[in-house]
Structure 1
Amino acid sequence: MIRVLLADDEELIRVAVAALLDLEPDIEVVAQAPDGHAAVTAALAHRPDVAVVDLQMPALDGLAVAAELARVLPSCAVVILTGRGRPAQVPRALAAGARGFLPKGSPGGALADVIRRVHAGGRYVDPALAADALSLPECPLSPRELDVLRHADPDVPVSMVARRLHLSPGTVRNHLTAIVTKLGVHNRAEAVARARDHGWL
């Protein structure tokens, strides 16, 4: 019997998925969690074989849960479910330790099949997302420029970014100008959005 933990902040979805999985003869849902912290706590308490976690959850998101479970409970394989899968999330999920990545709009039996596959030591990534992930552009920004952009949300003053990174405000402005130019955008808000969409941040 494959013991499964379900973590999703939307109770209706979590309960519905649990009911579907309970119909499978070889899968047992042993715990449910409404957020990321609760997912890690429940995993340590119930020691499931597979944790199925929503990508977007409060407290800890699915990527953080995958990374934490890889650290504290490496015997538990993680499958990430996402309502709106973006190709850039795939390499980040795999790097965090997830063994499966599946959109919530997948056919009904797909999740059970993925659970069986990762429990047996395999991996699964939705083929369409995997193909799109392979065609993602490489990041044109230097590590320092990425560091500046990571701290440069549009509502954060340049002086504060400079203090956080121990740089002069002029140096931060120069980096931001180079970032905007390299990414072909109009301002740092667009630069941050583009970098996040491509999974560079």
Structure 2
Amino acid sequence: MIRVLLVEHTRLVRGAFAALLAREDDIEVVAEADGDGDVVERAVACRPDVAVIGVDSRVGEEIAVGGELQARLPECRMLLMMASTTPERLRRLLDLHAAGVISTDAPPDRLVHGVRKLVRGKRFVDPEFALAALDAGANPLTPREVEVLRLTADGTPTREIAERLCLSAATVRNHLSAITRKTGGRSRIDAVRIATESGWV
């Protein structure tokens, strides 16, 4: 039997996923959690093969939980469920602890397929997410441009950005011009929006 820990904040959604997985002869949901601090302890207690984790706006918290889970239970594979992602964010998730990522809009049998694939030691990426990643270009911004854009997005004035990054104000303005050109934005605000939606910052 494939032992699954199911983590989802919304009780109704968690129940639906549990019922879906329970229909399979080779899958058993051995524990459920709402993600509020008890995930790792439940996993250590029930030792699942796969942890299916619903990701909401608290993605940073859940990734931190995933890191602790992998440290204490390295044999447990992590499948993240999320409504949407960006190519850059998808790469970061897979580079960190996730063995698989699936859309919450995916057909039910895709979740079952993903769980089985992870148990066989393979990765699973929802085809919709994979196609979006293939269609999107790589991050065109340099690491320095990303630093400048992050500070700009926080509302930091050009002169202060220059001081923080040990640059001249003219160099910061040059970086912002290059960022606007590379993102295809019409303004700095537009460049911030495009880069954020693309997962580049």
TM-score by length of 2: 0.82
1:77 shift after superposition: 0.6
How many angstroms apart in 2 are the aligned matches of 1:143 and 1:6? 37
In 2, are the aligned partners of 1:88 and 1:197 still within 8 Å (CA)?
A: no
Structure 2: state its 5+ residue gaps. none
Which stretch shifts more, 156-165 or 79-88? 156-165
In 2, are the aligned partners of 1:85 and 1:129 still within 8 Å (CA)?
A: yes
How many angstroms apart in 1 are the aligned matches of 2:196 and 2:124? 23
Q: Indicate the residue corresponding to 1:24 in structure 2.
A: 24
Fraction of identical pairs, as percent? 41
Map 1:77-116 to 2 at 5 A.
Answer: 77-116=77-116
Change (3 A) 1:41 1:180: farther
Map 1:1-201 to 2 at 5 A.
Answer: 1-35=1-35, 37-58=37-58, 60-162=60-162, 164-201=164-201
Which stretch shifts more, 113-122 or 144-153? 144-153
In 2, are the aligned partners of 1:154 and 1:189 still within 8 Å (CA)?
A: no
1:163 shift after superposition: 5.2
Change (3 A) 1:198 1:64: farther
TM-score by length of 1: 0.82
In 2, are the aligned partners of 1:36 and 1:61 still within 8 Å (CA)?
A: no
Give 2:50's aligned amino acid. V
Q: What's the RMSD between the two structures over aligned residues?
A: 2.7
In 2, are the aligned partners of 1:158 and 1:172 still within 8 Å (CA)?
A: yes
How many angstroms apart in 1 are the aligned matches of 2:44 and 2:86? 30
How many angstroms apart in 1 are the aligned matches of 2:42 and 2:60? 14
Which stretch shifts more, 177-186 or 149-158? 149-158
1:62 shift after superposition: 4.8
Q: Secondary structure at the match of 2:60?
A: coil
Which stretch shifts more, 156-165 or 131-140? 156-165
Change (3 A) 1:162 1:136: same
